[in-house]
Amino acid sequence: MKHWMLALAAVLPASAAPAAAQDHLADFLVITGTIDTGFDGISSAGITASINGEPVAVDEDGRFEARLHQGPYYQVRFEGETIHTAIQTFGIADLYRTDCECLRLPAIEVVARKEGRTEVFFAGDAMAGRRYSEPIWGERALIGQADPLGDITHLLAPLKPYIETADLSSVNLEIVLSQEEFENSPPKSVIFYAPPALAQALKDAGFDHVSLGNNHSYDYLEDGLVTTIEAVEAAGLAWSGAGFNEAQALEASRLTAAGQDFCLLGYVGWKGRVEPNQIAETTKGGAAYGSDANIAASISREAATGCTVIAQYHGSREYSEGPTRESERRMKLAVDKGAALIASHHPHVAHGLELYNGALIAYSTGNFLFDQYFLETHGSFALRAWMEDGKVIRAEVIPIRVLDYRPVPAVGSMREAILDRIERLSANRGTYVARNGAHGLILPGATSADPVLPALTCGVTRDLFRAGDFENAVYGDAVDRSLKVVGGEGEFVFGGVDGHLLELDGHEDGGPISLSTSTFLRVLPSNEFTVMGRIRSDEDIRMTILTQSRPSSMGRFEALEKAPFTTRGEEIVRGEGNWQQFEFHFALEQDTNGIRPFRPKLMFSSNIGDNAFPVSVQIDDLQVRAVMPPTCVAQKLEGAPS
C-alpha cells in the first residue's frame, strides 16, 4: 500500500483551488467591522483599513463594510499616522454568520502613537537547519542550496507584516550559522547548523535583534560562534547572550527605538552536561549563563544606565505546562533588579504570562521557525508589547501555528486552543488575559470576575489534536504535515464558508484507506480518550478506530513503523451524502511507566457486503479529546531533546 503524508492541497488564489471549490471562490460576501479607539480615546479620523490588501472605507465612527471574494483567510490591517499599525488574521469560519450570510469581524482595538511610547515584538525559537534541507519521511525540502535566502525569506513571509511594523523586534536564534558543518562539535545528542542566509532573512523580515543565549549557539564551539556572529553582524542585526568569554556574553545590546533606549540581555539557564560545556567562562566562549549572580549583576548594571532593560531567558523543561521553580525564581529576580519585560523560551510550547512587580514575564513563547514534528509544539505565540517610561502599559498575544515548519497566523480551533491554554496558565498566576479580536490582551491592573482556574481542569475534556477543523491546514504553499494517509490519497479542500475539510480517496484495488496522526501524542493528562468528528460519504462504509502505543523498548521512529495497532471499536456509516457525527471512546492500558505515547488511526473500508470498492470520504472537525479524571493527577511527560 502507498504511504502518503499530507503535503498537497488548495492554496489561497482561486486559480489554484480544486475544481469543487471554484463556485465558492467566485462568490462574494459582505464583511463588516469596527475600529475601537477606546484605549487612548482618540478619533478614528485618518485611520485607513484594508482586508487582504483591498482598501476599505472607514466612517467617522470607525465602522467599515466591504464586499469581498470568499477565501480561507481574511487579514485585516489598520494604519495611519496617529496609531501603531494593527494586523489581525481570521479564518472564514471564524467570521461567518448564518443570520446575515455575511462575515462579521469583532471590534479591534488600536493603540495610539505617542511620544515616549514604543512597540516591541518578541518571538521564540528560530532555526532553519536539519529537516529544512534534509527532510524525513520522504517530505519535500524547504531550503535548497541554490537560493537559501529566498527559501527562508519565503518561510518567514506570513509573519513579516507583524514583525516589521514594530519599533523593535527580536527572536531567539537557536542555531549556529555556517555554510557547512564543522567537525569539532561537543558530544551532544542534538546539534545543528543553518546557512548564514538565515540572518539576512530575519533582518529582511523586520527583526532588529537576535538572542544567542541558548543551548545551541555553541554547538560547534568557537568556530561556530565566529561564523554565527559574522553572519548576524553582516546582516545588520544586533545581538546579545553569547560571546568569546563571560564578560562579552553578559554584555547588553543597546538599541534606540522610537526615541527610547533599550538594553537587551540573553541567558541560558544551565551549563550543559558535556565538556566543553555550552556557557561562556573567563577564557572560553559560549552562551551567557543565567545564574542568580550573573542575572543580578548584569541587569542591575544596565538598569543603572537609565535604559529600559529587557531580558530573554532560555530555560525550563521542554514540553511542560509551566516554568521550573528555578527558572521562575531567576526571571522574577531579573524583574526585581530592574528588568521591565522578560521573554522566555526553550520549552517549545507556550506557557502562561504573569504581571509581576510592575513588569511582564512571558514564561515561554514556544517555537517560531522550527522543524519539530511533535504536535504539541505546533501552537505558540509572539508577544507584542507597548512600553512607556520603562514600563509595559499593554501587551498582546499573537497566536502562531507552526505549519509546515514555518510560522503562520493561527485561526480556528488552533487559535482557540492556544489562547485557551495561555488564558488558563496565566489565570493560575493571577494574570488576566482578555481578547482583542483574534489576539490575547493583557492590561496591567485588569482583573477578571471569573475564578482562577487550576493548571489542570478536572472532569472536563481537552482536545490534544487542536487543528482538526482544518481551517489552518493550508496557508499559501504551507500544508499540514501532522496527518498520514495509507492506502489512498488525501487533500485539504476549501469548502466556502465552512472553511477547509479533508477528502480521502482510496486506491482502485478497493482496499481500506486509513488516516492517522503522523507521530505519537505524548503529553497525556489522562488514559481515557474520545476520537470524534464529522464524516460524509455517498456509500455505506465500515469505520474502525485503532491505536498504536509506543513500547518503552522502541525508539520513536522504529515504533511508528513496527509497533502493533489495537482495534478499539467500529461502526457502519450509511452513505446518505450528508454530514454525520461519529464518536469512539476508549481507555489506554497503563504500565509501570504510566501512559505510553500513542497515536489514533481511523480506517475506512467497503467490506460490508461481497464487493469491495474504492472508498471516498470527507472528514471535518476531527478531535482527539483526553477525558480528564474527576481528581487530577500530575502529568507524566516524556521529555525529548530538540
Query: Would the pLDDT of 581 be above 70?
Result: yes
Question: Which pLDDT does position 590 carry in this prediction?
Answer: 84
pLDDT for 225 equals 98
Q: Dihedrals φ, ψ of 30, to 5°?
A: -80, 135
Distance between start and end Cα atoms, the chain: 32
25-29, 424-428, 469-473, 631-635: least confidently modelled range: 631-635
For the stretch 110-156, pLDDT in tens is: 999 999 999 999 999 999 999 999 999 889 999 999 999 999 999 99
User: Comparing C-alpha atoms, which of 305, 259, 264 is closest to residue 116?
Assistant: 259
Q: What's the pLDDT at 15?
A: 30
Q: Could you tell me if 349 and 319 are in contact, meaning their C-beta atoms sit under 8 angstroms apart? A: yes
Architecture of domain 28-69+73-109: Sandwich (2.60)
381-385 average pLDDT score = 98
pLDDT of residue 246: 98
Residue 635: band (very low, low, confident or very high) from pLDDT cuts 50, 70, 90 = very low
pLDDT of 599-614, one tens digit each?
A: 999 999 987 766 678 8
Residue pLDDT, tens place only, 533-564: 999 999 999 999 999 999 989 999 999 999 99
What does the pLDDT average to over 176-189?
Answer: 94
Q: What is the mean pLDDT of residues 581-602?
A: 91
Which among 627, 413, 408, 390 is positioned nearest to 530, based on CA atoms?
627
pLDDT of residue 536: 96
Percent of the chain with pLDDT over 90: 85
Say whether pLDDT at 468 is over 80. Answer: yes
CATH architecture of the domain formed by 117-454: 4-Layer Sandwich (3.60)
pLDDT average, residue stretch 379-383: 98
Q: Is the pLDDT of residue 455 over 50?
A: no
Strands (E), 207-305: 209-211, 238-240, 242-243, 253-257, 260-268, 286-287
Tell me which fold the domain 471-627 belongs to: Jelly Rolls (2.60.120)
Q: Compare 642 and 370 and report the one with higher pLDDT.
A: 370
Domains 28-69+73-109 and 117-454 share a fold: no
Query: How much is the pLDDT for 26?
Result: 53
| Per-residue confidence band for 441, with pLDDT thresholds at 50, 70 and 90 | very high
pLDDT of residue 458: 57
- Reported as a pLDDT band with limits 50, 70 and 90, residue 11 is very low
Where residue 460 falls among pLDDT bands split at 50, 70, 90?
low
Per-residue model confidence (pLDDT) at position 541: 93
Please give the mean pLDDT across all residues of the chain.
91
Q: Which of 73, 69, 74 is nearest to 26 (CA)?
A: 69
Write out 597-628 in H/E/C secondary structure. Answer: CEEEEEEEECCCCCCCCCCEEEEEEEEEEEEC
275 confidence band (pLDDT: 50, 70, 90): very high
Q: Rounded CA gap, 323 and 351, in Å? A: 8
What radius of gyration, in Å, describes the C-alpha atoms of the chain?
A: 25
Residue 638 above 70 pLDDT? no
pLDDT (average), residues 163-176: 98
Predicted local distance difference test score (pLDDT) of residue 445: 87
Q: What is the mean pLDDT of residues 254-267?
A: 98
Residue 451 has pLDDT above 60, yes or no: no
| pLDDT(298) > 80 | yes
Question: Over the stretch 185-219, which tens digit does the pLDDT of each residue have?
Answer: 999 999 999 999 999 999 999 999 999 999 999 99
Q: Do the beta carbons of residue 288 and residue 249 sit within 8 Å?
A: yes
Q: How far is CA 283 from the centre of its chain?
A: 38
In the block, cell 548584569 appears at 298
Task: Give per-residue pLDDT as tens, 329-347.
Answer: 999 999 999 999 999 999 9
| Contacting residues for 374 by C-beta, under 8 A, at least 6 apart | 319, 348, 519, 522, 640
pLDDT at position 593, please?
A: 77
**In the chain, what are the domain boundaries?**
28-69+73-109, 117-454, 471-627
pLDDT tier at 27, thresholds 50, 70, 90: confident
The strand pair at 260-268 and 308-314 is best described as parallel
